Amino acid sequence: MGLLDNILGKIGYTRLSDGSHYYSVKEGNTAFLGGIDKLKIAKENPVISSCIEIRAKLLSQAEFFIEDANGDKNFDNDLIKLLNNPNPHQSKQDFLKQFEWFKSSYGWVYQKPYKAVGFAPTSIYNLKSSCIEFPNKMLNPMVWTDKETKEYYKQKFTYEFDDYKSSFELNSIIPFYDLTNSLSDEKDSFITAPSRLDSIIKQISNIGLIGDAENVMIQTNGREMFFGGQSKGGNLGISLQLDADDKKNIESSLMNNYGFGYGKKRSIALKNEVGHKSLHIPLKELGLHESLISNANLVREAFEVPNELYDTYMKGSTFENQKEALIGFVQNTVQGIADDLANSWTSYFGYENTPIKASFSHLPVMQHTEDKKADKLLKIATAYRNLIQAGLTNEEANQIFANQGISITDEK
């Protein structure tokens, strides 16, 4: 195992004599994460990119509308039209996917609306968090008065992207946080938030190292070594090839799918027996697959993606399980992200009297929930009718349902 240990040791993999193994991050290794932009880490890691893309694709299907005092949905409002076409470069779907990629990778993201003075906004962009630089000296975020609050949010940050550079006041942007803000002691902690990647940085590194290890294993496939048997001294003739005519006759006689066939000159004809050793490294013996699944599960759970949806490492999940998992994921995770967007837009654009709402009820999978509600209602109505036909009063029937936690309103 000396050759194997040497190869794997270069990529941070160590297998112990008891069969256990571990990975270590080394400076200069291709998977080392120190100082790398978090968005780059997310894009280049297969597990993280899959998790964020699942979240982003679902969020991009959110439907936004204005809800009036009567509860009616208004899709023709100018602000809703802007959100459906936020800028010249992005559709609503692209805008929301980019938003989720930035927020999930960096932990926070700002949106910047643009408008002429006295006019409605004409475009809105997601600002890439890594391009934002805050002042060296910032005011104390612990503000107690309206004046202190205004002064704090009049501070400017620099946004530099390629050859574009500008300064924006904090009060001109709409902030969004993934976990929550103010979790650190940094000067900008109240206007930024930590990234989920911080808690799973070792698992991310492990996944990269496992990929490097498998790449090395695969490159050993088909490699082999021949050596001169047990002979010693000057008896080296056994390692010499046959004369050209003898070699040609042997190859012609033995042409088949297993040796010399199809022009694949993998075999050689020698005068005597020689030693042989395959340089192929068997993957199963290293436990890479199990380690990958373990690390991937921790990453997946950090992004709240159900196992049924992230089926790269899943076996035997039924369609029904996937459907229920998708509904739960939309209701418990993605709906909250969409509501945060809607509530923040409502406050920023002054729509408190007619708030912006987000819905996923139009998705085909969500119709399953509506069908279940309708089926439940039909069963309740049938049971109620049967109780009344059996001679019970409305009050008695209502009490029976109330005892089961079902409220029935008797309208007269």
Which residues 6+ apart lie within 8 Å of 150 measured at CB? 171
Between strands 174-177 and 224-227, the pairing is unpaired
Residue 20 pLDDT exceeds 60: no
Angle at 139 between CA 133 and CA 145, to 5 degrees: 130
Q: How far apart are CA 326 and CA 315, in angstroms?
A: 17
Taking residue 131's Cβ as centre, other Cβ atoms within 10 Å add up to: 13
Q: Give yes or no for a contact between 187 and 138, defined as CB atoms under 8 angstroms apart.
A: yes
Mark whether 294 and 187 lie in a shared domain: no
At residue 259 the predicted structure's pLDDT band, cuts being 50, 70 and 90, is very low
Place 295 in a pLDDT band, splitting at 50, 70 and 90: confident
pLDDT score of 291: 76
Burial class (CB in 10 A: 0-12, 13-18, 19+), 173: buried
List the structure tokens of 338: 């969409």
Give the closest residue to 356 by CA, choosing from 81, 97, 117, 127: 81
pLDDT at 136 over 70: yes
Identify the band that residue 31 occupies on the pLDDT scale cut at 50, 70 and 90: very low
- 161 and 29 in a common domain: no
Residue 348, Cα to own-chain centre: how many angstroms? 29
Cβ atoms 128, 36 nearer than 8 A: no
Same domain, yes or no, for 100 and 116? Answer: no
The tally of domains found in the chain comes to 4
Do 238 and 294 lie in one domain? The reply is: no
If you average pLDDT over residues 289-297, what whole number do you get? Answer: 78
* Residues 355 and 273 placed together within one structural domain of the fold: no
Q: What pLDDT does 275 receive?
A: 63
Q: The whole model's pTM is what? A: 0.69
Same domain, 59 and 203: yes
Looking at 360, 377, 398, the residue that finishes a domain is: 360
If phi over 0 gives left and psi between -120 and 50 gives alpha, with beta otherwise, what is residue 287? left
**Claim to verify: residue 235 and residue 212 sit in the same structural domain:** no
- 241 in the same domain as 123: no
Residue ranges making up the domain that contains 213: 1-107+196-223+279-360
Q: Give strand pairing partners of 270.
A: 241
Same-domain status, 240 and 125: no
Residue of higher predicted confidence among 303 and 175: 175
Least-confidence region, from 7-16, 92-101, 123-132, 394-403 = 7-16
Do residues 237 and 269 both lie within one domain?
yes
For 283, the 3-state DSSP assignment is coil
147, 174, 194: which is the final residue of a domain? 194
The answer to whether the beta carbons of residues 313 and 64 sit under 8 Å apart is no
Residue 71 has what pLDDT? 77
pLDDT in tens, 192-229: 999 998 888 888 888 877 777 776 666 666 566 655 55
Do 330 and 182 fall into the same domain?
Answer: no
What pLDDT does 358 receive?
Answer: 93
Residue burial 313-347, b: 16+ Cβ < 10 Å; e: rest = eeeeeeeeebebbbbebbeebbbebbeebbeebbe
- Whole-number pLDDT of residue 145: 93
Nearest to 168 by CA among 115, 139, 132, 125: 132
> Closest by alpha carbon to 100, among 64, 123, 133, 126?
126
Q: How many CA atoms lie within 13 A of 7 on its CB side?
A: 17
For residues 80 and 8, state if they share a domain.
yes
**What residue type is 339 in one-letter code?**
D
Among candidate residues 321, 341, 360, the one where a domain is terminated: 360
* CB neighbourhood size of 215 (10 A): 11
